[in-house]
Structure 1
């Protein structure tokens, strides 16, 4: 497969999804292109899953570069997230310049910031409500006027990102509360 071709990444992703589909269906394997994450609740289970994964890759003539692999770790950065046994956080490397991000002066600048912010939206409570003034600026036919509401939204999001909130892994022994907005 030639990776200079337009559909090569999609083809490779489909291939990886296909060969590891049963592992993903069992709920212990995540795959994005050539990044594979497996997780387990104990070491014995993990060793067995790792053995199965490595055998599957070998059967498909796929090989790993050991220097690019991490084994038996309690924390891993995967697709912009820091994953630990009980929490998921934002990658501090990705957040490094957030406090210095200047206020956008164009619609393109707003889209750049909201594109970044949207990736981490699940970490910010009431994200849509906070970011609404910024998204309103990107609507077709809207004149770009950076007012107090936009500045407040921008600064609030930057502040919330700098606090580096964590998502807690649910405890299945505790009750769950599910809230949904049924409007529209």
Structure 2
């Protein structure tokens, strides 16, 4: 579900109207409802939605991001019950929903640049294709934009920080932007990784995990895998990828110390998967 002009459904207080006044040669204007573009509007709207559906969010079957509402269910009957409950609450608070953006009875959906299903999390290929159609960055701002986009999908990209290290260097204020062969290769590797980003499988908590780590002079990378049974055959599946650049002080560490450092970092980053699990 998607709220219809979500922000505009919020009536402003008298004080807020005064703060948001617009003065022009035509006169003085005041917003009566919350406009788009205010710095704290998204957080206020999110808090309001969380207040309307507190128990549903706590139980985990309802997901809300600003004005997007996602209902998750295991069966058709349960989904109907939950859908009816959400609609009743929406009617109680006089919220309007955009019917054009409502989709029901899907096994997977696109949300926030991802393709989400009950079994996996994938990258929205349309979002990736739109960025990859652009030419190679020619300015620092363009490169930072590309790296920011890649970082958004970092959980899908193995050793992203290691590949991107040389690209981050040329974005420093004191560095002249110049795409040398090494940086062009790094840029192509990230593009290829985005294009072929793997599906991340939903973990089966009763099965053990496998944690692979790799520490080198350029950065730290780790991959969390799990052997799952598909059609009575075991397959090793990707669950999550993490990586980061090595700090200047860490670059002076010995091989054994940097590996222990990285192992601790990986365990802390993936604690929500590994705490209480066998790996």
Q: Which bracket does the TM-score occupy, shorter chain normalised?
A: 0.7 to 0.9
* In structure 2, C-alpha distance between the alignment counterparts of 1:76 and 1:135, rounded to whole Å: 33
Is residue 2:120 matched to residue 1:87?
Answer: yes
Long gaps (5+) in structure 1: none
Seen in structure 2, the aligned counterparts of structure 1 residues 5 and 155 have a Cα distance that, compared at 3 Å, is closer
Task: Number of aligned residue pairs: give it.
Answer: 183
The SS at the match of 2:115 is strand
Q: Determine which of 29, 34, 38 is the counterpart of 2:67.
A: 34
Change (3 A) 1:150 1:20: farther
In the TM superposition, what is the alpha-carbon distance from 1:20 to its structure 2 partner? 2.1
Equivalent position of 1:169 in the other structure = 202
Q: Work out which structure has the larger RCO, using CA pairs closer than 8 Å and 6 or more positions apart in sequence.
A: 1
Kindly indicate whether the alpha-carbon contact (under 8 Å) linking 1:3 and 1:9 is maintained by their aligned counterparts in 2: no
Residue 142 of structure 2 aligns with which residue?
A: 109
Residues 1:25 and 1:181: Cα distance change in structure 2 (over 3 Å)? farther
Q: Larger deviation: 99-108 or 33-42?
A: 99-108
Q: Judge conservation of contact 1:99–1:159 (CA < 8 Å) in 2.
A: no
**TM-aligned CA distance change 1:5 to 1:132, over 3 Å:** closer
* TM-score for the superposition, normalised by structure 1: 0.88
**More helix per residue: 1 or 2?**
1
Q: Which of the numbers 158, 161, 165 marks the counterpart of 2:191?
A: 158
Q: Which has the larger radius of gyration?
A: 2
TM-score, normalised by the number of residues in structure 2? 0.60
CA 1:142–1:21: 2 relative to 1, 3 Å:
farther
Cα distance in 1, alignment partners of residues 37 and 111 from structure 2? 26
Compared CA separation, residues 15 and 115, structure 1 to 2 (3 A):
same
Coordinate RMSD, CA, aligned:
2.1
Give the Cα separation in 2 of the matches to 1:4 and 1:50: 28
Q: Deviations over 1:77-111 (max 9, x none)?
A: 11111112211111121122344332211111111
Structure 2 residue 229 is matched with structure 1 residue 147: no
**Larger strand fraction of residues:** 2
- Can you give the 5+ residue segments of structure 2 that lack an aligned partner in the other structure? 1-32, 212-223, 225-261, 266-279
